[in-house]
Structure 1
Protein backbone atom coordinates (compact mmCIF):
# COMPACT_ATOMS: atom_id res chain seq x y z
CA UNK A 1 0.00 0.00 0.00
CA UNK A 2 1.18 3.59 -0.49
CA UNK A 3 3.19 5.41 2.18
CA UNK A 4 4.21 2.17 3.85
CA UNK A 5 0.73 1.55 5.28
CA UNK A 6 -0.52 -2.01 5.59
CA UNK A 7 -4.07 -3.22 5.27
CA UNK A 8 -4.39 -6.01 7.82
CA UNK A 9 -7.48 -8.20 7.62
CA UNK A 10 -8.32 -10.07 10.81
CA UNK A 11 -10.58 -13.08 10.53
CA UNK A 12 -13.84 -13.26 12.43
CA UNK A 13 -12.66 -16.04 14.75
CA UNK A 14 -9.56 -14.03 15.74
CA UNK A 15 -11.70 -10.92 16.30
CA UNK A 16 -13.98 -12.91 18.59
CA UNK A 17 -11.00 -14.25 20.51
CA UNK A 18 -9.57 -10.74 20.98
CA UNK A 19 -12.92 -9.30 22.11
CA UNK A 20 -13.77 -12.16 24.46
CA UNK A 21 -11.50 -10.92 27.22
CA UNK A 22 -13.33 -7.57 27.27
CA UNK A 23 -16.88 -8.82 26.70
CA UNK A 24 -17.80 -8.53 30.41
CA UNK A 25 -16.99 -4.83 30.54
CA UNK A 26 -18.81 -1.52 30.77
CA UNK A 27 -17.68 1.95 29.73
CA UNK A 28 -18.56 4.57 32.32
CA UNK A 29 -18.27 8.33 32.69
CA UNK A 30 -19.10 10.53 35.65
CA UNK A 31 -21.06 13.55 34.42
CA UNK A 32 -20.13 17.04 35.61
CA UNK A 33 -17.16 16.07 37.75
CA UNK A 34 -13.68 14.66 37.35
CA UNK A 35 -12.72 11.70 39.51
CA UNK A 36 -9.45 9.85 39.92
CA UNK A 37 -9.06 6.26 38.84
CA UNK A 38 -8.49 5.10 42.41
CA UNK A 39 -11.49 6.99 43.81
CA UNK A 40 -13.77 5.62 41.09
CA UNK A 41 -12.49 2.08 41.57
CA UNK A 42 -13.16 2.22 45.32
CA UNK A 43 -16.69 3.53 44.81
CA UNK A 44 -17.53 1.01 42.10
CA UNK A 45 -16.15 -1.89 44.15
CA UNK A 46 -18.49 -0.88 46.96
CA UNK A 47 -21.49 -0.51 44.62
CA UNK A 48 -20.96 -3.29 42.10
CA UNK A 49 -18.39 -5.93 43.11
CA UNK A 50 -20.69 -8.09 45.24
CA UNK A 51 -19.85 -11.57 43.92
CA UNK A 52 -16.45 -11.03 42.27
CA UNK A 53 -13.92 -8.34 41.60
CA UNK A 54 -13.59 -5.56 39.02
CA UNK A 55 -10.75 -3.95 37.12
CA UNK A 56 -11.00 -0.26 36.19
CA UNK A 57 -8.94 1.22 33.34
CA UNK A 58 -8.68 4.94 32.52
CA UNK A 59 -9.47 5.39 28.81
CA UNK A 60 -8.84 9.14 28.81
CA UNK A 61 -11.37 11.91 28.29
CA UNK A 62 -12.94 11.03 31.68
CA UNK A 63 -14.07 7.64 30.33
CA UNK A 64 -13.27 4.43 32.19
CA UNK A 65 -13.52 0.76 31.29
CA UNK A 66 -14.86 -1.45 34.07
CA UNK A 67 -14.11 -5.13 33.59
CA UNK A 68 -16.17 -7.57 35.65
CA UNK A 69 -15.04 -11.01 36.75
CA UNK A 70 -18.58 -12.07 37.65
CA UNK A 71 -21.48 -11.85 35.19
CA UNK A 72 -24.06 -11.20 37.95
CA UNK A 73 -22.12 -8.11 39.01
CA UNK A 74 -22.03 -6.95 35.37
CA UNK A 75 -25.79 -7.39 35.03
CA UNK A 76 -26.33 -5.51 38.28
CA UNK A 77 -24.15 -2.58 37.20
CA UNK A 78 -25.79 -2.40 33.79
CA UNK A 79 -29.44 -2.86 34.75
CA UNK A 80 -29.99 -1.56 38.29
CA UNK A 81 -29.13 2.13 37.80
CA UNK A 82 -29.34 5.04 37.62
CA UNK A 83 -26.08 5.35 39.53
CA UNK A 84 -24.71 8.41 41.31
CA UNK A 85 -21.24 9.05 42.68
CA UNK A 86 -20.57 12.22 44.71
CA UNK A 87 -24.06 13.47 43.71
CA UNK A 88 -23.24 13.19 39.99
CA UNK A 89 -24.76 10.72 37.58
CA UNK A 90 -22.64 7.91 36.22
CA UNK A 91 -23.32 7.03 32.59
CA UNK A 92 -23.01 3.33 31.86
CA UNK A 93 -22.68 1.71 28.42
CA UNK A 94 -22.14 -1.92 27.47
Structure 2
Protein backbone atom coordinates (compact mmCIF):
# COMPACT_ATOMS: atom_id res chain seq x y z
CA UNK A 1 0.00 0.00 0.00
CA UNK A 2 1.45 3.37 -1.05
CA UNK A 3 1.44 6.39 1.24
CA UNK A 4 1.63 10.01 0.06
CA UNK A 5 2.75 12.52 2.61
CA UNK A 6 1.14 15.89 2.21
CA UNK A 7 2.33 18.89 4.22
CA UNK A 8 0.00 21.88 3.80
CA UNK A 9 2.36 24.28 5.56
CA UNK A 10 5.05 24.24 2.85
CA UNK A 11 2.76 24.42 -0.13
CA UNK A 12 2.99 27.46 -2.49
CA UNK A 13 0.87 28.73 -5.29
CA UNK A 14 2.18 27.57 -8.66
CA UNK A 15 3.65 30.46 -10.73
CA UNK A 16 1.47 32.05 -13.34
CA UNK A 17 2.48 31.53 -16.95
CA UNK A 18 4.33 34.45 -18.55
CA UNK A 19 2.51 36.91 -20.74
CA UNK A 20 2.54 36.08 -24.42
CA UNK A 21 5.03 38.06 -26.52
CA UNK A 22 3.84 41.23 -28.18
CA UNK A 23 2.30 40.65 -31.55
CA UNK A 24 4.42 42.01 -34.46
CA UNK A 25 3.44 45.45 -35.63
CA UNK A 26 3.02 45.86 -39.38
CA UNK A 27 4.30 49.24 -40.54
CA UNK A 28 2.74 50.64 -43.66
CA UNK A 29 5.10 52.32 -46.04
CA UNK A 30 4.43 55.90 -46.85
CA UNK A 31 4.87 55.34 -50.58
CA UNK A 32 3.53 52.15 -52.15
CA UNK A 33 6.05 50.21 -54.19
CA UNK A 34 5.49 50.52 -57.95
CA UNK A 35 3.81 47.46 -59.28
CA UNK A 36 4.22 48.00 -63.00
CA UNK A 37 7.07 48.82 -65.40
CA UNK A 38 5.40 52.12 -66.25
CA UNK A 39 5.24 53.14 -62.59
CA UNK A 40 8.87 52.19 -62.11
CA UNK A 41 9.87 54.45 -65.01
CA UNK A 42 7.72 57.29 -63.74
CA UNK A 43 9.16 57.02 -60.25
CA UNK A 44 12.67 56.88 -61.69
CA UNK A 45 11.96 59.99 -63.72
CA UNK A 46 10.82 61.79 -60.58
CA UNK A 47 14.00 60.78 -58.74
CA UNK A 48 16.24 61.85 -61.63
CA UNK A 49 14.48 65.18 -62.04
CA UNK A 50 14.57 65.78 -58.31
CA UNK A 51 18.31 65.14 -58.26
CA UNK A 52 18.78 67.45 -61.24
CA UNK A 53 16.82 70.22 -59.53
CA UNK A 54 18.96 69.84 -56.43
CA UNK A 55 22.15 70.13 -58.49
CA UNK A 56 20.83 73.06 -60.50
CA UNK A 57 19.83 75.03 -57.44
CA UNK A 58 22.65 74.02 -55.12
CA UNK A 59 24.91 76.78 -56.36
CA UNK A 60 27.92 74.47 -56.40
CA UNK A 61 31.11 75.55 -58.08
CA UNK A 62 30.83 75.25 -61.86
CA UNK A 63 27.03 75.39 -61.93
CA UNK A 64 25.81 78.65 -63.44
CA UNK A 65 22.48 79.50 -61.81
CA UNK A 66 22.30 83.11 -62.96
CA UNK A 67 19.52 84.12 -65.37
CA UNK A 68 20.24 85.20 -68.93
CA UNK A 69 21.89 83.68 -72.02
CA UNK A 70 24.52 80.96 -71.82
CA UNK A 71 27.95 82.36 -72.65
CA UNK A 72 30.53 80.01 -74.18
CA UNK A 73 34.20 80.82 -74.06
CA UNK A 74 36.38 80.67 -77.16
CA UNK A 75 38.01 77.52 -75.80
CA UNK A 76 34.59 75.99 -75.16
CA UNK A 77 33.45 76.69 -78.70
CA UNK A 78 36.62 75.23 -80.19
CA UNK A 79 36.16 72.08 -78.13
CA UNK A 80 32.56 71.72 -79.37
CA UNK A 81 33.41 72.47 -83.02
CA UNK A 82 36.51 70.24 -83.18
CA UNK A 83 34.73 66.90 -83.94
CA UNK A 84 32.90 68.55 -86.87
CA UNK A 85 35.77 70.36 -88.59
CA UNK A 86 36.08 67.72 -91.37
CA UNK A 87 32.35 67.42 -92.00
CA UNK A 88 30.64 68.23 -95.30
CA UNK A 89 27.11 69.52 -95.88
CA UNK A 90 25.50 67.96 -98.95
CA UNK A 91 22.27 68.40 -100.87
CA UNK A 92 20.94 66.42 -103.82
CA UNK A 93 19.21 68.61 -106.40
CA UNK A 94 16.27 67.60 -108.55
CA UNK A 95 15.28 64.42 -106.75
CA UNK A 96 14.46 63.09 -103.30
CA UNK A 97 15.71 59.67 -102.27
CA UNK A 98 15.60 57.80 -98.98
CA UNK A 99 18.26 58.25 -96.34
CA UNK A 100 19.54 54.68 -96.56
CA UNK A 101 19.76 54.77 -100.36
CA UNK A 102 21.63 58.07 -100.32
CA UNK A 103 24.09 56.78 -97.73
CA UNK A 104 24.73 53.67 -99.80
CA UNK A 105 25.28 55.69 -102.99
CA UNK A 106 27.63 58.18 -101.28
CA UNK A 107 29.68 55.35 -99.81
CA UNK A 108 30.03 53.77 -103.24
CA UNK A 109 30.81 57.13 -104.84
CA UNK A 110 33.37 58.48 -102.36
CA UNK A 111 34.79 55.20 -101.01
CA UNK A 112 35.96 56.85 -97.77
CA UNK A 113 38.71 55.25 -95.69
CA UNK A 114 36.43 55.29 -92.65
CA UNK A 115 32.74 54.50 -92.07
CA UNK A 116 30.49 57.23 -93.43
CA UNK A 117 28.31 58.93 -90.83
CA UNK A 118 25.39 60.65 -92.55
CA UNK A 119 23.07 62.90 -90.54
CA UNK A 120 19.72 64.13 -91.85
CA UNK A 121 19.31 67.85 -91.11
CA UNK A 122 15.96 68.28 -92.81
CA UNK A 123 15.23 70.55 -95.79
CA UNK A 124 16.97 67.93 -98.02
CA UNK A 125 20.31 68.71 -96.38
CA UNK A 126 22.66 66.18 -94.83
CA UNK A 127 25.96 66.22 -92.95
CA UNK A 128 28.62 63.74 -93.99
CA UNK A 129 30.73 63.52 -90.84
CA UNK A 130 34.37 62.53 -91.29
CA UNK A 131 37.22 62.28 -88.81
CA UNK A 132 39.95 62.16 -91.45
CA UNK A 133 40.69 65.26 -93.51
CA UNK A 134 41.59 63.08 -96.53
CA UNK A 135 37.94 62.17 -96.94
CA UNK A 136 36.77 65.76 -96.65
CA UNK A 137 39.31 66.97 -99.23
CA UNK A 138 38.29 64.24 -101.65
CA UNK A 139 34.62 65.19 -101.43
CA UNK A 140 35.34 68.90 -101.79
CA UNK A 141 37.93 68.82 -104.58
CA UNK A 142 37.45 65.70 -106.67
CA UNK A 143 33.92 66.38 -107.85
CA UNK A 144 31.58 67.25 -109.32
CA UNK A 145 29.43 64.41 -107.93
CA UNK A 146 26.22 62.98 -109.29
CA UNK A 147 23.84 60.58 -107.57
CA UNK A 148 21.34 58.74 -109.81
CA UNK A 149 22.00 61.37 -112.48
CA UNK A 150 21.36 64.37 -110.22
CA UNK A 151 23.89 66.95 -109.10
CA UNK A 152 25.13 66.72 -105.51
CA UNK A 153 26.02 70.04 -103.92
CA UNK A 154 28.83 69.93 -101.35
CA UNK A 155 30.04 72.61 -98.94
CA UNK A 156 32.17 72.74 -95.83
CA UNK A 157 30.47 72.41 -92.49
CA UNK A 158 30.09 75.71 -90.69
CA UNK A 159 29.20 76.44 -87.06
CA UNK A 160 25.62 77.38 -86.16
CA UNK A 161 24.37 76.15 -89.54
CA UNK A 162 20.56 76.45 -89.81
CA UNK A 163 19.07 74.33 -92.64
CA UNK A 164 15.92 76.45 -92.91
CA UNK A 165 18.03 79.56 -93.56
CA UNK A 166 20.62 77.98 -95.85
CA UNK A 167 21.16 79.59 -99.22
CA UNK A 168 23.53 78.63 -102.01
CA UNK A 169 25.71 81.54 -103.09
CA UNK A 170 28.11 79.35 -105.10
CA UNK A 171 27.81 76.00 -106.79
CA UNK A 172 29.97 73.92 -109.11
CA UNK A 173 28.41 73.09 -112.48
CA UNK A 174 29.47 71.40 -115.69
CA UNK A 175 29.06 73.63 -118.76
CA UNK A 176 28.63 72.02 -122.18
CA UNK A 177 29.29 73.95 -125.35
CA UNK A 178 27.39 72.19 -128.17
CA UNK A 179 28.98 72.35 -131.63
CA UNK A 180 31.93 74.46 -130.50
CA UNK A 181 34.45 74.55 -133.32
CA UNK A 182 37.51 72.47 -132.59
CA UNK A 183 39.88 75.39 -133.18
CA UNK A 184 38.32 77.02 -130.11
CA UNK A 185 39.25 74.06 -127.91
CA UNK A 186 41.99 76.25 -126.52
CA UNK A 187 42.90 77.09 -122.95
CA UNK A 188 42.77 80.86 -123.47
CA UNK A 189 39.47 80.69 -125.35
CA UNK A 190 37.93 78.50 -122.66
CA UNK A 191 39.16 80.86 -119.95
CA UNK A 192 37.48 83.79 -121.74
CA UNK A 193 34.25 81.80 -121.77
CA UNK A 194 34.82 81.08 -118.11
CA UNK A 195 34.92 84.79 -117.23
CA UNK A 196 31.34 85.07 -118.42
CA UNK A 197 30.22 82.30 -116.09
CA UNK A 198 32.38 82.23 -112.96
CA UNK A 199 35.64 80.81 -111.62
CA UNK A 200 37.06 77.95 -113.68
CA UNK A 201 37.64 74.81 -111.62
CA UNK A 202 38.44 72.13 -114.15
CA UNK A 203 38.44 71.41 -117.88
CA UNK A 204 37.48 68.00 -119.21
CA UNK A 205 40.57 66.13 -120.37
CA UNK A 206 39.17 65.33 -123.81
CA UNK A 207 38.20 68.98 -124.30
CA UNK A 208 41.59 70.40 -123.35
CA UNK A 209 43.34 67.86 -125.60
CA UNK A 210 40.83 68.40 -128.44
CA UNK A 211 40.26 64.65 -128.71
CA UNK A 212 36.48 64.81 -128.91
CA UNK A 213 34.23 67.23 -130.73
CA UNK A 214 31.32 66.94 -128.30
TM-score (normalizing by structure 1): 0.88
Distance across 1 between alignment mates of 2:83 and 2:112:
20
Select the residue among 30, 53, 56 that pairs with 2:92: 30
Q: CA RMSD in A?
A: 1.3
Q: Displacement of 1:35 after TM fit?
A: 1.5
Counterpart residue number, 1:9 = 71
Counterpart residue number, 2:153 = 91
**Structure 1: unaligned runs, 5 residues or longer:** none
Q: Displacement of 1:30 after TM fit?
A: 0.1
Counterpart residue number, 1:46 = 108
Distance across 2 between alignment mates of 1:38 and 1:19:
26
Task: Choose between structure 1 and 2: higher strand proportion.
Answer: 1
Counterpart residue number, 2:137 = 75
Distance across 1 between alignment mates of 2:136 and 2:115:
10
For 2:84, what is the secondary structure of its paired residue? coil
Distance across 1 between alignment mates of 2:144 and 2:98:
21
Contact 1:53 1:70 in 2 (8 A): no
When residues 50 and 66 of structure 1 are mapped into structure 2, their CA distance, relative to the original with a 3 A threshold, is closer
Distance across 2 between alignment mates of 1:6 and 1:35:
42
TM-score (normalizing by structure 2): 0.40
Larger Rg belongs to: 2
Runs of 4+ aligned structure 1 residues displaced above 3 Å come to: none
Distance across 2 between alignment mates of 1:20 and 1:54:
18
Q: Displacement of 1:47 after TM fit?
A: 1.5
